[in-house]
Amino acid sequence: MTPPLIRQLTADPVIAVVRAPAIADAAELCAALAEGGIGCTELTFTTPDVTAHLARAADAGHRVGAGTVLTADQAHAAVDAGASFLVTPGLRAEVAEVAHRRGVPVVMGALTPTEVAQAVDLGAAAVKIFPARAFGPAYLKDLHGPFPGVPLVASGGVNAANAAAFLSSGAIAVCAGSDVVPPLSVSTSAWPDLTTRARAFVHALRPASEGRQPAPAPSAEGPR
């Protein structure tokens, strides 16, 4: 059975990653992105008071996750605040353990084939290839040779010009960063700007995202 997160990303293959020194209103931020066609937002632990922002967005009914999760304590705090998924920048066994214990999917960062295999062994719902820009879309296609059933998410240097290529090369989803959510717009409540940027990003990848079939779930059952 395909996990709910993978079904969601198949239908809506963009995660907006917010890295900003301040967030004026997390609920309004998510609403602005959703109006532009991006319904999944990741708020990272590099933003001060991120758990309060997660709670604000989750309470408003938005699909929001926590990113740059490095420790078990951060994972627990994020889930307590309402995060519906966790994202790590690299292999973090303690985060995976909390995610499975709390029933929340984790998207685990990796780059090499060895790291992808380890992420699967840790029970990742999907594996975030970071930094995707360093190797390009063809690298994801190459990874699907030995890992045909692993949902891959392209992150790092993904923009409107190359997002469609990453999807066409087998990414289940892509992460939209500062090109879509500039820190200044986030901190100054420039919501129309974010909606316009989100809409342009989604429009650029539409031909590659239509008619896609969800990738099978990884076979690992949890942390080992």
Active site positions, annotated: 42, 128
DSSP string computed for 115-181: HHHHHHHTT-SEEEETTGGGT-HHHHHHHTTT-TT--EEE-SS--TTTHHHHHHTTEEEEEE-TTTS
Residues composing the chain:
224
Q: Say what the alpha-carbon torsion angle 210, 60, 160, 176 is, to the nearest 10 degrees.
A: -110
Within 13 A of 49's CA, how many CA atoms are on the CB side? 10
